[in-house]
Chains A and B, each alone.
Chain A
């Protein structure tokens, strides 16, 4: 079966750094994705990791450890517009994308 866990809610201050963790147990592994979803909108792609290590893209970075079944999304220099849900998704051996329940991030002034 598929099991993807991430915190339900997080709060952080504008300008700060926040780390959103994701742990997974899936049938096979073909990569891990992070998506951002603002309220009432569609998810949009943020990052993809398939090898261990850190992928940096502007203010956002994503880390993967396959041996630990663990990933995190790091958001730096937080802005109010970063308030959104962040979805961790793992592509399994059948190439299906399995989503976690999402982490709702609130950025406060």
Chain B
């Protein structure tokens, strides 16, 4: 593994189903993030984690949950998917979430369609 990986690459999901998007990084970064990207709205932060064991809410957290049991993994769960959660989801990581100059590295994204 090099960098950040996300799985699945794409998924079609029935409304009401539970879904977990996976994200793994091998850069030993402390901070990890989940964004959704929608046409005309740009990237919006869903949840973040500045270090293993801690998480925080971003701009659009409703309907999503995260956990950070270890440094490498940061799964995003949709407990009961709704069509408005159709989007492209990007996971990102950075060395230190409280450093100004710390750039974020993005995974390849998961394209999710909720029908």
Give residues 94-109 of A contacting B (CB, 8 Å).
95-102
What A residues does B100 contact at CB under 8 A? 30-31, 50, 91, 95
A48 to B101, CA, bound (A): 7
Give residues 83-102 of B contacting A (CB, 8 Å).
90, 97-101
Interface residue A44 (Cβ < 8 Å from any Cβ of B): yes
- Interface residues contributed by chain B, number (CB under 8 Å): 23
Cross-chain contact B106 with A43 (CB below 8 angstroms):
yes
A87 to B45, CA, bound (A): 14
Interface residues on A, range: 20 to 34
A45 to B103, CA, bound (A): 7
What A residues does B107 contact at CB under 8 A? 42
Cross-chain contact B58 with A96 (CB below 8 angstroms):
yes
Cross-chain contact A95 with B98 (CB below 8 angstroms):
yes
Per-position binary interface string of chain B over residues 29-65, scored 1 when its CB falls under 8 Å from any chain A CB and 0 otherwise: 0000101000011111100100000000010000000
Q: Which of B33, B40, B41, B42 has the most CB of A within 10 A?
A: B42
Cross-chain contact A87 with B106 (CB below 8 angstroms):
no
Q: A42-B107, A44-B106, A89-B43 are in contact. List 11 more A-B contacts (CB 8 A).
A: A31-B101, A41-B108, A42-B106, A42-B108, A42-B109, A45-B103, A50-B101, A97-B33, A97-B45, A97-B104, A99-B44
16 A-B pairs with C-beta separation under 8 A: A33-B103, A41-B108, A42-B90, A42-B108, A43-B90, A45-B103, A50-B100, A50-B101, A89-B43, A95-B98, A95-B100, A96-B48, A97-B104, A98-B45, A99-B42, A99-B43
